[in-house]
């Protein structure tokens, strides 16, 4: 079984309405699909082994607040506020390729969706690095437009 992530940029007015109403009331400005199947692997590598208190760059895929009046399947719909989006964007930009490689090489992905043998990443480093680059671009574009990010698992 596989769970995918749906990750979308949300305009500031739609963020404010969604936050007020507790459910996602938004048209999105962009949806990122490339990460949909590798999200768990990627978030665990970005978290550098600390999923209980993940660093900002990992919160790109596991942060935000749950919208209480929306669908609660698989942990609910989450919303990351524009200010947090900007912080996450900076953290992703500051994450060097060398540091990502170190995290990749030391990651224990036991139990993660799409992990490989023995808790090792199931995808090559180069493939995951491309996804980090796409995540950087996505968050940088959202931050420069003062947008929020909404996501859910399905």
**pLDDT tens track of the chain, all 154 residues?**
467 888 889 999 998 888 888 878 777 777 777 788 888 899 999 999 898 999 999 999 999 988 876 665 666 788 999 999 999 999 999 999 999 999 999 988 887 777 677 788 888 999 999 999 999 999 999 999 999 998 887 6
**Helices and strands of the chain, counted as H and E runs:** 6, 5
- Residue 104 domain boundaries: 5-153
**What is the reported pTM?**
0.90
**In 3-state terms, what secondary structure has residue 120?**
coil
d(CA 137, CA 141): 6
All residues at 6 or more sequence positions from 137 whose CB lies less than 8 Å from its CB, including other chains? none
Handedness of CA 34, 69, 66, 119 (dihedral sign): negative
CATH classification of the domain holding 89: 3.40.1760.10
| Confidence (pLDDT) at 1 | 47
User: How many structural domains comprise the chain?
Assistant: 1
């Amino acid at each position: 079984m596989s769970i995918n992530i749906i990750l979308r940029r949300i305009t500031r007015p739609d963020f404010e309405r969604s936050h007020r109403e507790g459910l996602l009331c938004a048209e999105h400005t962009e949806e990122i699909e490339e990460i949909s199947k590798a999200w768990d692997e990627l978030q665990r590598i970005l978290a550098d082994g600390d999923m209980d208190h993940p660093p900002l760059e990992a919160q790109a895929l596991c942060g935000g607040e749950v919208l209480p009046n929306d669908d609660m399947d698989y942990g609910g719909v989450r919303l990351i506020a524009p200010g947090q989006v900007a912080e996450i964007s900076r953290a992703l930009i500051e994450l060097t390729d060398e540091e990502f490689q170190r995290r990749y090489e030391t990651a224990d992905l036991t139990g993660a969706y799409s992990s490989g043998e023995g808790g090792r990443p199931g995808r090559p480093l180069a493939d995951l690095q491309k996804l980090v680059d796409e995540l950087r671009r996505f968050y940088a574009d959202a931050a420069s437009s003062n947008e929020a990010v909404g996501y859910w698992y399905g």
